Amino acid sequence: MVQGIYEDIAGTLRSHGLQVTSQRILIYDYLIHTREHPSAQQVFEDVFESLPGISKATVYNTLEVLSNHGLIQKININSGVTRYDGDTSVHSHLICTHCHRIIDYFDDSFLGLRVPENLWNGFEVKRTCVIFYGVCDSCREELAAQAKEKRKARKDCVVPFKRDLKQVDAWLTVKTKG
């Protein structure tokens, strides 16, 4: 039961030749289940709750490793901070230029049209990125309600963020012995 939660994540890490650590499990798990497209700082703060003492350097290292292995993706917006997305499926983003919220946008109708050709003037397209910049619902109505809205959005997440480190350790121990 305890080990079941992280079975998939550990397997994924191993299949990519990565060592399994509690830090990596918690960060990857967090990114998979949040819809917030958090920054490194946000990842650090939220994972810190489950694993006090985790270093910000580890967060950056892990995000880089996961990104390089295609397990998560980076998102760059006009704000100077990189955001991270645990959802690597093909989808677009609506980005609010005011509050910098990033909303997932799935639209089958133009998925097939996104890569016009695979080779253009010698340029080989590997990945197509569609971003819709604009103003989100709450920002348009009232700018003052920003912080409150953000907190609410986080609360609405289907999966609780906080994880018990003991569960991870127990699982790791069982895994090691077995």
Tokens of 58: 């580890």
Piece of 58-66, 88-96, 99-107, 112-120 that binds DNA (CB under 7 A) = 58-66
- Among its own copies, Zn ion, DNA, none, residue 98 binds (CB under 5-8 Å by kind): Zn ion
> Quick one: CA dihedral 38, 39, 42, 43, positive or negative?
positive
Q: Which of residues 61-100 bind DNA (CB under 7 A)?
A: 61-62, 64-65, 80-82
What are the C-alpha distances in Å from 45 to residues 29, 59, 96, 145, 156?
A: 15, 10, 23, 22, 18
**Per-residue mark of binding to Mn ion, 98-127 (x: CB under 5 A):** ------x-----------------------
The DSSP annotation for 50-70 comes to HSTT--HHHHHHHHHHHHHTT
By the rule CB under 7 A, 107 interacts with DNA: no
State which of residues 7, 8, 14, 134 lies at the interface with DNA (CB under 7 A). Answer: 14
Kindly state the smallest distance separating residue 127's Cβ from DNA, in Å.
Answer: 19
Kindly state the smallest distance separating residue 74's Cβ from DNA, in Å.
Answer: 8
Q: Running DSSP on this structure, what letter comes out for residue 39? A: B
By the rule CB under 8 A, 105 interacts with its own copies: yes
By the rule CB under 7 A, 42 interacts with DNA: no
Taking CA 46 as the corner, what is the angle to CA 73 and CA 48, rounded to the nearest 5 degrees?
115
By the rule CB under 8 A, 89 interacts with its own copies: no
Nearer to Mn ion, 107 or 169 (CB): 107
Q: Give which of 57, 98, 64 is closest to 79, Cα–Cα.
A: 98
Kindly state the smallest distance separating residue 33's Cβ from Mn ion, in Å.
Answer: 13
Tokens of 130: 């569609």
